[in-house]
């Protein structure tokens, strides 16, 4: 099986030795995204919800670079530094997706890169 790296300048560049996403046949595996502005590489201001909104913009850019659609996300993993933000994740999910919603796992972690408050990775069916 061959893998194809997906790269777009409309999402933040990888900050390590990994790809923004890897396409394997009709599946797209997105690396974790934090709320970085792709134009300046800085974490967006405004706290948890602003970071989460930026993450969805970044994810959409990577998915579209692979000729996919955001609504074809089958699985999301959400990493938060505080589970008190769980309700905000649910609210934004309702704005971004329609039923049936993607499968999802939410995990509280001690820390994330660049002191981000939230990170998401995803699996998309192309």
pLDDT given for residue 15 in this prediction = 84
In the chain, what are the domains?
4-125 (3.30.1330.40)
Q: Cα(28)–Cα(118) distance, rounded to whole angstroms?
A: 21
Full-model pTM: 0.96
pLDDT given for residue 27 in this prediction = 98
pLDDT along the chain (126 residues), means of 10: 96 94 98 97 97 98 98 98 97 96 98 98 98
What residue spans of the chain are helical by DSSP H?
A: 47-65, 86-96
Pair 3, 66: CB distance under 8 Å: no
Pair 119, 32: CB distance under 8 Å: yes
Determine what percent of the chain falls in helix, strand and coil, rounding each to the nearest 5. Answer: 30, 30, 40
């Amino acid at each position: 099986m061959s893998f194809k790296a997906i790269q777009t300048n409309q999402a933040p560049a990888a900050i390590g030795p990994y790809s923004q996403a890897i396409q394997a046949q009709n599946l797209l595996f997105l690396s974790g995204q934090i709320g970085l502005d792709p134009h300046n590489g800085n974490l967006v201001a405004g706290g948890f919800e602003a970071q989460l909104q930026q993450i969805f913009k970044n994810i959409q850019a990577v998915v579209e670079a692979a000729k996919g659609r955001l609504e074809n996300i089958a699985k999301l993993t959400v990493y938060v530094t505080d589970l008190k933000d769980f309700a905000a994740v649910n609210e934004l999910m309702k704005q971004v997706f329609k039923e049936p919603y993607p499968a999802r796992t939410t995990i509280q972690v001690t820390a994330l890169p660049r002191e981000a408050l939230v990170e998401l990775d995803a699996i998309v069916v192309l």
